[in-house]
Amino acid sequence: MLKLGVNIDHVATVREARHRGRPVGEPDPVEAALASEAAGAHGITAHLREDRRHIQDRDVWRLRESIHTRLNLEMANKEEIVQIALRLKPDIVCIVPENRNEVTTEGGLDVAGHLQALAETTKRINGAGIDVSLFIAPEEKQVVAAFQSGAQFVELHTGSFAEAYDDDSARTKEIQRLVIASNQAHAAGLKVNAGHGLNYKNLNCLYEVPHLVELNIGHSIVSRAITVGMNSAVKEMLVLMANYPEC
C-alpha cells in the first residue's frame, strides 16, 4: 500500500501570517495533523526551518506528544536542528536543503557534494534509533551518494515533474528520470519516498514510478482543505493513491 504523509507546514504558514511571535494562534497545525490521521493519513510531516517561518519548536514537541502515526521531521543539516531531532526522536528525519530566500524547498540535496557531513549526521541520527531520508533530485550520482551516506530512505524531488505536467514531452522525460532513479535506489537497498508539487491532478502520472513507499504531500491538501475541510481533503487524496500498482 502506498502511504500518505501529510505535510502541515502551510497550516502554520497561515497561522504565522496573523499570529507571528505569539504563543498561540489559529489555525493549529496539530489539530490539522490529528484530523489528517483521523481521515487515514499514515504519517505527519513538518519542516522545522532555521528561520522558523512556519512550524515552531512548540509545534514539533506537541506533534510528538499528540499524533499516533509516524512523525517525519524535515530539517537542514544544521547542528541546532540536529540537536533538536536527537531530543525529539521523530520516527524519521528527512534532510533537505534550505535557502532563506525561497518560499518552499526548491531543489534536491547535493548529497554527492556533502557526503562526509551527511554521513556523519546520518550516523548520529541512526544511533538515536531514528531513520534518515535524504531529499534528492532523481539523479544517479545523488542516489549513489545517498546509499554511501548510510541513509535508509531517499525522497525523490518531484518538483520538476510537477512543473512539466502540462507539457507532454517534458512530463515524459521527468517521469523517466524518476523511474530510473527509483529503480537505482531500490536496487541499492534504499526505500523510496517522493514529494514536492504533487496534487490531485498530476498524481496519476506518478504511478509509472515503481517502488514508492510513501508520498509526502502538503500544499495541495491544505489548499483543498480550505474548501472541503482537512478530513475530506485527505480522504480524497487517499482514494487517488489507492490506484498505485503494487510492485
pLDDT digits (tens, 9 = 90+) for 134-182: 999 999 999 999 999 999 999 999 999 999 999 999 999 999 999 999 9
Question: What's residue 102's pLDDT?
Answer: 47
Q: Is the dihedral of CA 126, 215, 112, 87 positive or negative?
A: negative
Catalytic residue from among 10, 37, 42, 74: 74
Domain coordinates in residue numbering, the chain: 3-241
DSSP-derived 3-state class of residue 129: coil
- Yes or no: domain 3-241 corresponds to CATH 3.20.20.70: yes
Average pLDDT over residues 187-199: 98
CB contact at 8 A, 152 and 114: no
pLDDT digits (tens, 9 = 90+) for 57-91: 999 999 999 999 999 999 999 999 999 999 999 99
Question: What's residue 101's pLDDT?
Answer: 53
DSSP string, 140-199: HHHHHHHHHHT-SEEEEE-HHHHHTTTSHHHHHHHHHHHHHHHHHHHHTT-EEEEESS--
Catalytic residue from among 47, 54, 157, 186: 47
Instruction: Respond yes or no: is residue 106 known to be catalytic.
Output: no
Is 70 exceeded by the pLDDT of residue 200?
yes
pLDDT digits (tens, 9 = 90+) for 84-120: 999 999 999 999 998 655 445 567 999 999 999 999 9
Q: Of 71, 56, 57, give the one whose Cα is nearest residue 7.
A: 71
Spell out the residues 6+ positions from residue 208 whose beta carbon is closer than 8 angstroms to its own: 175, 179
Question: What's residue 136's pLDDT?
Answer: 98
pTM exceeding the 0.75 threshold for the entire prediction:
yes
Q: What distance in Å separates the CA atoms of residue 7 and residue 9, rounded to the nearest whole number?
A: 6
Instruction: Respond yes or no: is residue 74 known to be catalytic.
Output: yes
Give the pairing of strands 153-157 and 131-136. parallel
Q: What percent of the chain has pLDDT over 70?
A: 96
Q: Of 145, 94, 93, give the one whose Cα is nearest residue 117.
A: 145
**Where is pLDDT greater, at 201 or 106?**
201
Q: What distance in Å separates the CA atoms of residue 128 and residue 106, rounded to the nearest whole number?
A: 29
Instruction: Respond yes or no: is residue 54 known to be catalytic.
Output: no
Q: What percent of the chain has pLDDT over 90?
A: 94
Q: What distance in Å separates the CA atoms of residue 24 and residue 16, rounded to the nearest whole number?
A: 10
Inter-axis angle of helices 79-88 and 57-66, nearest 10: 20
Average pLDDT over residues 30-37: 98
